[in-house]
Chains A and B, each alone.
Chain A
């Protein structure tokens, strides 16, 4: 098995192994969360497992990620989180103090997101069989979006908004995990996105599609969407917000910030005429105060993502297999 890192190999694993085995309508739609209806209520359900190293990093802990990640996946389905579960796999020898810090940050994140952690599970594995702490969270949400949300609603001419500057989470993790020093401190952007999403709904904006920009960054998220929607998404390099520190760090590391992970950023697709209002609404929320329109949707059956560079060319942003292996010969 060599399917780490997200990207195309993970997709392949899902397509080859999991989908055929578990096939059903909700799963096959391949959203981050499933839409269900039960007793007349429109529900969303999602699950995610967190394996980050280090457990505590600038701007957050694995506990924040576990709460925010799942709440955000629900938000991307247009749902407000109702309850979370938390499952812990703890490695023997883990410092109690670390566990307490992680748990405290989970409690705080859940408070901010206004969601109770209603059930849980704990397993302790032998030393060497875990990596400190693994956390799984599952979330149930109530769909409040007035219309359906998803790639299939994207049309040529739609605009793409991102909620803030990109790449901080991935770079923050690298800086502590690998002891790299950059021009300044970089904090993870981990945050609960629901207030911003909710504000869009409350303002009556017809949101076509939402996606959080986690593993694989903006590029991977847009590639998945473009493929499903059968469109070409073009972003304008000059408009994509990236902080100077993150940009500098990416240059040094040889990484493309458009592929770097975020934990508190999302993309919104709306019709051209709704862009200005959507931006106003989003900028009114702390978590998306830096929202910007960065791209446009065009027709193209085969689905592709391109960046218009500063000098005018249209570079293709591919869905990469995992690691960024050099392609220059």
Chain B
């Protein structure tokens, strides 16, 4: 029996051992580069029972992707043993054993840390097969201690005994350690005081502390301290983007945020992501933590070090990744000390190396008709690099994602290994991270791509890289249109096969006609897609400048409706945009719903600029507050084009009459949802796939889904993978493989 997936380092072999011995079966179990291999022999009833029970008694952290069984001749074995890892497949082919993500400290370990009689009392690197670092310390596959950054720490006698006994929770727990033999903490600048007491005092004094975590450094400071938060913003050059917070306990979160069961479950899960929550009225966080958002990013401590720190300082702290804005997270002590020296006042570090960076993941819960479902916004620590299983056998392709929020993916068989969030490819540091994540994935899985898949945009850094690399390797380059990749990602994670109607609403991506798309309805089929409907195009005066300054999109909408002479252009900025609109200089055409949001946010008074991606849209959504209504503007759909002109005119009239912003915003959101329903109805499809960054808008995503489901349509949205460009690589891998097959079958 061969089990593929995340089956190593989770206590699987002892489970198999216990089960086989209980059923008196002979044979063995071992780790291989493909996963876990088991051979059992004995009475057929017992073998049957073994197979059934193994499915239900899996270790908690295991994720079994594919299960294969073959019948072999009995060898007469009577005992059952755990064999050493088999590296014989080393020399051939891709490895497919999934690497487990880093897992939050389990209950058992936590109890030990806080038990004064336990030998791991207050030990900051406690872990077991149910918890602890994995991906971030992994050097190679199979997952064995010599293949991790723990290889430099020699196990002491007590730890070795645990590591070697089948019955122990720490049997083959690769990062197993204790205060006698494992990693140690250090504070920089040095102090004689207890490290946690020292850091707690610094936090209380409003200092900024860089704390080495699982996948990188966090910058921490007291989240109630406005002065300290402002100081961090200044030092990080991050003026507005909300900061995430770490809160001391789930009880604390319950007291200060509106929390439902699904959100609580996520916070306490092994992945331990940042969860977006609404603060309750009773909270004492500094407003500077998340000024432009009605949501707060909240996480709980997920490593023993963080638990110990939070016990010493039981208050909410800002916990943001230790980087300059736009740079990937710092991992090495020296690098972090150098890069963060201008930001952090002191450092809490340790000597367990981090092999690769992993940011905190960001998730939120959306109510839906099927109950609460989570929506991934940034997929990294706790989730990456778990593979996504897809319906089809894929070609071995490397997909390199978009330009912003980049992730990359490799396809092996029916699994796609999607990397952790890498970041925006604007900076040198992120480009280097992009390169090393690709090298790393290919090396770990001994993967040789048959083709490289990238976006259609010629100037994405990922596209430029892909073109050069494919040329060097002499392999095919496959370009997949941005929104097609978005939809393919959503279809892949939902295991949708066959035709469907795709709704791709986005900031902007290059379309096949050379204009900027982002408000698209596709009929998606085996051979590709037909663009059956889209938003009425308008210009983006100043290109990327229009994506920061919302007045430009607003001016463009007005210019389309009223032409030159309209009074609106006497407003500030309007004049500059007007000159561009009339001359057409650097004013690409777009059908983007994201840009429509910008224009509407400006015209309605909700926001003026995007200092970070999607800010204006977030403000406009936030402006709705608790307003719920069916009132709506109208998008007039004719000949496959959704015309927003009467929507804009009515909105301006409402505004002149003094209608409250909450209602204006709700009417706008409803108009978009209604437009979707009417296009879907007309399309003849029963299945609808919705993707693209705009669907991170919780209200819109919900409203459109509910309206469609009420009419009996089957709606698929993102849960495991971000709807934003962080999900592109999955869709590229999926679609790219298809295209490659098509090419091969034509030849």
Contact with B along A164-199 (1 / 0, CB 8 A): 000000000010001111000000000000000000
Do residues A329 and B613 form an inter-chain contact, with CB atoms below 8 A? yes
Considering the complex, which residues of chain A in the window 304-329 have a beta carbon less than 8 Å from any beta carbon of chain B?
A: 304, 306, 311-316, 318-329
Q: Does B544 contact A (CB under 8 A)?
A: yes
How many chain A residues sit at the interface, stated as a range, is: 20 to 34
Max chain B Cβ within 10 angstroms of own Cβ: one of A8, A181, A312, A329: A329
Q: Which of B237, B583, B588 contacts A325 (CB 8 A)?
A: B588
**Interface flags, B396-431, vs A, CB<8A=1, else 0:** 000000111100000000000000000001111101
Kindly provide the distance from the CB of A54 to the nearest chain B CB, expressed in whole angstroms. 13
B403: A residues at CB distance < 8 A: 327-329
B247 CB, min distance to chain A CBs, angstroms: 30
Whether a CB of chain B sits under 8 angstroms from the CB of A26 is: no
0/1 string, A99-119, CB within 8 A of B gives 1: 000000000000000000000
User: Is there a chain B Cβ closer than 8 Å to A238's Cβ?
Assistant: no
Proximity string of chain B (441-461) to chain A, C-beta cutoff 8 Å, 1 when within and 0 when not: 000000000000000011111
Using A318-B464, A325-B459 as known contacts, say yes or no to A313 and B326 having CB atoms under 8 A apart.
Answer: yes
CA A306 – CA B425 in complex, angstroms?
12
Instruction: Give Cα A179–Cα B464 distance, bound, in whole angstroms.
Output: 35
Question: A residues within 8 A CB of B540?
Answer: 326
Given A252-B576, A252-B580, A254-B543, the answer on whether A329 and B428 have CB atoms closer than 8 Å is no
| Binary flags per residue of B311-327, CB closer than 8 Å to A gives 1, else 0 | 00000000000001111
Determine whether the beta carbon of A180 is less than 8 Å from that of B506. Answer: no
B545 and A251: CB pair below 8 A? yes
Query: Is there an interface contact between A329 and B508, defined as CB atoms closer than 8 Å?
Result: yes
Known: A254-B544, A313-B325, A315-B426. A326 touches B508 (CB 8 A): yes
B588 touches which of A304, A311, A320, A326 (Cβ 8 Å): A326
A14 within 8 A of B: no
Q: Is A315 within 8 A of B427, CB to CB?
A: yes
| A328, B544: Cβ atoms closer than 8 Å | yes
- Tell whether, in the assembled complex, residue B586 and residue A255 are in contact, meaning their CB atoms are under 8 Å apart: yes
Within the complex, which residue of B327, B427, B693 is in contact with A329, where a contact is CB–CB below 8 Å? B693
B425 contacts which chain A residues (CB < 8 A)? 316
* Bound-state Cα–Cα, A189 to B660, Å: 53
The CA of A321 and the CA of B544, in the complex, are separated in Å by 16
| Interface SS of chain A | loop
Whether the Cβ atoms of B585 and A316 lie closer than 8 Å is: no
Are B508 and A180 closer than 8 Å at their CB atoms? no
Q: Which residues of chain B (554-608) have a CB below 8 Å from chain A?
A: 576, 579-580, 582-586, 588, 594
Within 8 Å of chain A (Cβ to Cβ): is B493? no
Q: Which residues of A contact B506 (CB under 8 A)?
A: 329
Which residues from chain B contact A36 at a C-beta distance below 8 Å?
none
Would you call B613 and A313 a contact (CB within 8 A)? no
Q: Choose from A9, A251, A254, A323 the contact partner of B541 (Cβ within 8 Å).
A: A254
Complex-state Cα separation, A246 to B583, whole angstroms: 18
Contact A253 B586 (CB under 8 A): yes
Contact B459 A316 (CB under 8 A): no
The 10 closest A-B pairs by CB, nearest first: A254-B542, A254-B545, A178-B583, A321-B458, A314-B428, A311-B237, A329-B507, A326-B544, A254-B543, A328-B547
Binding site for A on B (CB under 8 A): 237, 324-327, 402-405, 425-429, 431, 457-461, 464, 482, 506-510, 516, 540-547, 576, 579-580, 582-586, 588, 594, 613, 693, 724-725
Besides A178-B585, A314-B428, A316-B425, 10 other A-B contacts (C-beta < 8 A)? A252-B576, A253-B545, A254-B580, A311-B324, A314-B429, A315-B427, A316-B426, A321-B458, A328-B613, A329-B509
